[in-house]
Amino acid sequence: MKNQMFMGASTKQGYDIATKSREIIRGLIGDDIKDLAPAERDIVERIVHSTADPEYAKLVHMSADFVEAAMTSLRNKETILTDINMVKYGITQYEGEVECFIKNEEVKKIAKEIYPNINIIGLEKLDYVDLTNGAIITSNHFNPLDSYNIRKIVEEKLHKKLYIVVQDTNLAMPGALGFLFNNIEVIPLSKSPNYIIKKFMPELKKILSKGNFVLIYPEEEMWFNYKLPRPCKRGAYQFAHELDVPVISCFVKMTDTNITDNNEFNIVKYDVFINKVIYPEKNESIKSDSRKMAEVDYETRKKAYEDAYNKELKYEFDIKDIAGWKDI
């Protein structure tokens, strides 16, 4: 153990514990990393050890030259960038620079400009609503990450947990979005009636019964940065009727900024409007009630759009209906 450190351990006892934990990890993820090169296996094992989550063995992907390129950079003493200071301070035997900008004032300033606080309007409408058995939230859908707007309300303001209903095919998406969908609270939805009855509905009922919230996009399609609300399909309201939970109707307004996001779009600011709470009528049939709830929700969101943008809702395409588009 002289002058050695293994997985953060600098004593024999720490070394023994680290070695044993590494053996346990290899037993859990062996099949997932068997085709990797030795150095790649070491990296994945270390990630799993750090996160205490064997699922990362399935999620980590490295380019063919990653290890060689990384080692070359380290030999050249190139700067290491860390996401938190704890990691920065833990790198003690490196002759190059180690940087972390999480507390950098310029970074904070840029972050506030690019990702401004979301403005929430109408939160008081939920003050006297019984949410003991949870609720379904509906909203317009315009971005793969637009659930963040609703999550801010649910988790920061209402102190509840938010689950998102997504098509099961989203879990197979490549890259960052696929990773995200597999690592946040989602409820996969398939078109199979058998799956909906035997798996989806029991899971939805269990989650709502604990007082959690579930976000469902009744438009059932995402139109990128499209400002206009679209007619609602009945699925969300059928679930609300069957499980006897309220629907919280929301609408997100998008306002253009002059801050560049990429070559085609600028950053967009968001205002989240809590419109009204819609209750199922249990004395009506599920077909009739879900249709009425869908119509009420759409009309509510339509009015929210017209009030927010001070214009009549018309489905005559205008380039200004796409928020943040630089070609405007």
The DSSP call for residue 123 is G
Which domains can be identified in the chain, with CATH numbers? 12-105 (3.40.50.10230), 118-321 (no CATH)
pTM listed for this prediction: 0.67
Query: Rounded to 5 degrees, what are φ and ψ at 163?
Result: -110, 150
pLDDT of residue 267: 85
Please state, as a whole number, how many other Cβ atoms lie within 10 Å of the Cβ of residue 160.
15
> Which amino acid, 198?
K
Residues 6+ apart with CB under 8 A from 237: 218, 247, 278, 280, 289, 290, 291, 293, 294, 297
Using an 8 Å Cβ cutoff, are 260 and 296 in contact?
no
Q: Which of 49, 61, 159, 241 is catalytic?
A: 49
Identify the CA nearest to 253 among candidates 325, 327, 307. 307
Residues 6+ apart with CB under 8 A from 154: 137, 160, 161, 162, 213
Give, in order, the Cα–Cα distances in Å from 188 to each of 165, 206, 238, 292: 6, 14, 17, 26
Identify the CA nearest to 179 among candidates 73, 55, 264, 33. 55
Distance CA 306, CA 293 (A): 20
pLDDT of residue 90: 81
Ramachandran assignment for 117, one of left (phi > 0), alpha (psi -120 to 50 degrees), beta (any other): beta
The DSSP call for residue 155 is I
Signed CA dihedral, 215, 192, 57, 19: sign only: positive
pLDDT of residue 1: 42
Using an 8 Å Cβ cutoff, are 121 and 274 in contact?
yes
Is 49 one of the annotated active-site residues of the chain?
yes
Residues of the chain with pLDDT under 50: 1-3, 5
pLDDT of residue 115: 56
Query: Rounded to 5 degrees, what are φ and ψ at 25?
Result: -60, -45
Using an 8 Å Cβ cutoff, are 150 and 139 in contact?
yes
